[in-house]
Amino acid sequence: MIEAYLHSESDLDDRAIHLLFSANRWELASSITAHLAQGTTVLADRYSFSGIAYSVRKGLSYEWCRAPEIGLPAPDLTLFLDISPEVATTRGGYGQERYEKEEVQKGVRQVFNKIGRTVQEDDEGEGKWVVIDAGKTKEEVAEELWRAVEPLANGVQGSINRLWEKL
């Protein structure tokens, strides 16, 4: 259903697609937790913050969008690959999806930056938020990413947090 929606083959209420994305994360929550408990690093290419950013841009409230995400396994680190919408359009594979339009990306980027500030200020179990300048070369981006990831590469101590739920 998500795929059909993203390729404009179907239409859904903004809330319905938000909940589908969230349900998709909940489908995997126990397996993510099991991997983490075994010491396996889990990398998610987009997670709750993406879900919230795309839906808030459409006019849904931050609180409404956040609610179904509460309790999901929390990231230890979020890497926000920031790029101007103009440069993004020049990158490969861009333009096929419903949201791959400059106006949409501009709005989503603004919401992401707001969420980033909130995460940095709150410390409510959302993990650390690091902005990476994705407008640089592939090598430079890789270097910046590694600088942020390396401190965690040997494992993270402590229990697995849940998003917006202090354990």
Ligand X SMILES: Cc1cn([C@H]2C[C@H](O)[C@@H](COP(=O)(O)O)O2)c(=O)[nH]c1=O
Is 147 a binder of ligand X (CB under 6 A)? Answer: no
Which 116-145 residues touch ligand X, going by CB under 6 A? none
DSSP state of 36: H
In the complex, least distance from residue 106 CB atom to ligand X, rounded to whole angstroms:
14
Q: Which member of 14, 76, 82, 97 binds ligand X (CB under 6 A)?
A: 97
> Rule CB under 6 A: is residue 81 a binding residue for ligand X?
no
Length of the chain: 167
94 makes contact with ligand X (CB under 6 A): no
Between 112 and 144, CB nearer to ligand X: 112
Q: Does 112 bind ligand X (CB under 6 A)?
A: no
DSSP letters spanning 93-158: TTTSSTT-SHHHHHHHHHHHHHHHHHHHHH-SS--EEEEEETTS-HHHHHHHHHHHHGGGTT---S
Structural contact between residues 14 and 20, judged by C-beta atoms closer than 8 angstroms: no
CB-nearest residue to ligand X: 51
The nearer residue to ligand X, 6 or 148, going by C-beta atoms, is 6
Cβ neighbours of residue 152 under 8 Å, at least 6 residues apart?
A: 41, 76, 77
Contact (CB, 8 A) for 54 and 148: no
Between CA 88 and CA 99 the distance in angstroms is: 12
Residues numbered 46-75 forming contacts with ligand X, rule: CB under 6 A:
46, 50-51, 54
- Ranges within 1-30 binding ligand X (CB under 6 A): 6, 21
Minimum CB distance to ligand X, residue 78 (Å)? 13
Contacting ligand X within 32-51 (CB under 6 A): 45-46, 50-51
- What is the enclosing helix (H) or strand (E) of 82? strand 77-82
By the criterion CB under 6 A, which residues form the site for ligand X?
6, 21, 45-46, 50-51, 54, 97, 99
